[in-house]
Amino acid sequence: MTHAQDSQGEIVETKYYNMPSYEKFVLASGAELEELKIAYETYGALNEKRDNAVLICHALSGDAHAAGYHKGDKKAGWWDVMIGPGKAFDTNKYFVICSNIIGGCKGSSGPNSVNPKTKKPYGLSFPLVTIGDMVNAQKKLIDFLEIDKLLSVCGGSMGGMQALQWAVSYPKHIHSCIPVATTYKHSAQQIAFDEVGRQAIMADPAWQGGDYYEKTHPSAGLAVARMVGHITYMSNDSMEQKFGRTMKTEKLGYGFSTEYEIEGYLRYRGDSFVKRFDANSYLYITKAMDHFDLQEDKKLHQAFKGVKTRFLVIAFSSDWLYPASQSKEIVKALKMNGIDVTYCEIRSDYGHDAFLLKSEEETKLIKHFLDNTHKVIERNR
């Protein structure tokens, strides 16, 4: 990371970790990656004790660029409102890390990566990945950064799944966990929405079985998948307040053109998404989310057996994609293990997207929680 400043904010650079060539990264499926590459960014400085590191895990459409600006960009990273001096993840205090998940399309190993054997993009020959695989890859990065124990792991939506997996897979390597607007497993309805998106992509003639990288991309299918997904990120109240039945045209055209503001908004969201995301990655990531199940054929509280990590679980009142009831189940399971957990449900009309928008409330909660976590660590030294 550079420390140059421009008029907009801190200029940051994406870095890359490449697993040594003599190692192989084994996935949950048993498949192996001969080359593991992870794109990541860091903000703030690692202290001498190397105990002030916080890992931020991104959601489905996110990437390593969580804060600051890339040179020439007009838009900051996806959670810039929460990461920086004086913010929730105060970079005057903490060394903040965010990496692109494997299976993604923003620099880490994924279906759009070049297969070293064929010298062409993997496409569907890239092995399926799980949330656990994503976390295991992140652990490789943390080891590379020579950090033995993270102060905290935090993420919203799919990022929250990763945070929970960290607590279960590597309980001795994190002090605290902040899962936000998430779940411990997908319900049938959540799987159903993902499947509609996947089918929209695979029904696009341009998809060609995932082998489209040197051809026309399945933009129409991916745009529809994003439109469906975006509906689940909002709430009925937020859509009603923002759009209602407002028309884009002066009168009904009695056709299938874009007549309502909400139609135009969804098409805009879909068209914007295809410019920055890979259709195959959408398939891989949503399937990983659907496969995620912290229980693994046992009762949820048993998944947290032996975990000593402190938790702050945050949910939002209008989130119907990952409703507060699912967060409460996590809290109940943690309490059954005597784990130190705080639960906060923030009132909001924004729906699932609230975790990206309700920064003031989240900031207060997270600042207080991290300060207390630091005090607990010092007290137990």
Residue-wise pLDDT for 226-236, tens only, equals 999 999 999 99
Domain ranges of the chain: 15-186+293-380, 190-288
Half-sphere exposure for 177 (CA within 13 Å, toward CB): 31
Of 3.40.50.1820, 1.10.569.10, 3.20.20.80, 3.30.70.1450, which CATH number belongs to 15-186+293-380? 3.40.50.1820
Closest by CA to 234, choosing from 224, 242, 246, is: 242
Closest by CA to 35, choosing from 111, 115, 104, is: 115
Residues of the chain under the 70 pLDDT cut: 1-8
Q: Could you give phi then psi for residue 24, rounded to 5 degrees?
A: -125, 140
Alpha-carbon distance of 149 to 295, in angstroms, equals 25
Size (the chain), residues: 381
Is there a shared CATH topology between the 15-186+293-380 domain and the 190-288 domain? no
Residue 6's pLDDT is: 38
What radius of gyration do the chain's Cα atoms show? 21
CB 54 within 8 A of CB 94: yes
What pLDDT, in 10s, does the model give residues 295-339?
Answer: 988 899 999 999 999 999 999 999 999 999 999 999 999 999 999
- DSSP character at residue 206: G
State the distance between the two ends of the chain, measured CA to CA, in whole angstroms.
31
Residue 8's pLDDT is: 54
Between vectors from CA 23 to CA 20 and to CA 27, what angle results, nearest 5°? 120
Helix axes 279-291, 188-202, angle to 10 degrees: 160
Alpha-carbon distance of 211 to 217, in angstroms, equals 9
Residue 85's pLDDT is: 96
Helix ranges, 249-349 (H): 261-274, 279-291, 300-303, 324-336
Measured CA to CA in angstroms, residue 156 lies from 48, 53, 242, 355, 356 at distances of 29, 18, 23, 7, 8
Residue 170's pLDDT is: 98
Of 2.40.30.30, 1.10.600.10, 1.10.1740.110, 1.10.10.10, which CATH number belongs to 190-288? 1.10.1740.110
CB 36 within 8 A of CB 19: yes
Residue 381's pLDDT is: 76
Residue 248's pLDDT is: 86
The distance of Cα 130 from the centroid of its chain, to the nearest Å, equals: 13
Active site residues: 157, 319, 352
Going by DSSP bridges, is the β-strand pair 37-43/95-99 parallel, antiparallel, or unpaired? antiparallel
Q: Mark 157-177 as b/e (b = at least 16 C-beta within 10 Å).
A: bbbbbbbbbbbbebeebbbbb
- DSSP character at residue 261: H
- Using DSSP's 3-state secondary structure scheme, residue 218 falls into coil
Alpha-carbon distance of 234 to 326, in angstroms, equals 18
Residue 5's pLDDT is: 39
